[in-house]
Amino acid sequence: MRRLVLAAGILLASAPNSRAQEIPDPAAEARIHFGPLALTPTLALVNAGMDTNVFNEPTFAGPKRDFTITF
């Protein structure tokens, strides 16, 4: 039993130090800096389509159509 405890103690004492991963700073790669504020402008097309019943009218009332797009 003493040998087992001694072996476990030696293995634990010789274990390498673990280090946490470094988190990269997203502000360091930003294109625009205003003091502590960092911005990276982007343009994204989120949604585009045809709305066939803009005002949620019943079908007999002649629903209005419209094209919608979201940037």
Domain assignments of the chain as residue spans, ordered by start: 42-71
* One pLDDT digit (tens) per residue for the chain, 71 residues: 888 888 887 777 766 666 667 888 888 889 999 998 999 999 998 889 998 888 888 777 777 888 888 88
The predicted model scores a pTM of: 0.37
Residue 13's identity, in one-letter code, is: A
Measure the CA–CA gap between 29 and 41, rounded to whole angstroms. Answer: 12
| Predicted local distance difference test score (pLDDT) of residue 15 | 60
Residue 54's region, left for phi above 0, alpha for psi from -120 to 50, else beta, is alpha
| Predicted local distance difference test score (pLDDT) of residue 23 | 84
| Predicted local distance difference test score (pLDDT) of residue 32 | 93
* Whether the Cβ atoms of residue 64 and residue 53 lie closer than 8 Å to each other: yes
- Tokens 């988190």, residue? 23
| Predicted local distance difference test score (pLDDT) of residue 33 | 92
Measure the CA–CA gap between 26 and 8, rounded to whole angstroms. Answer: 43
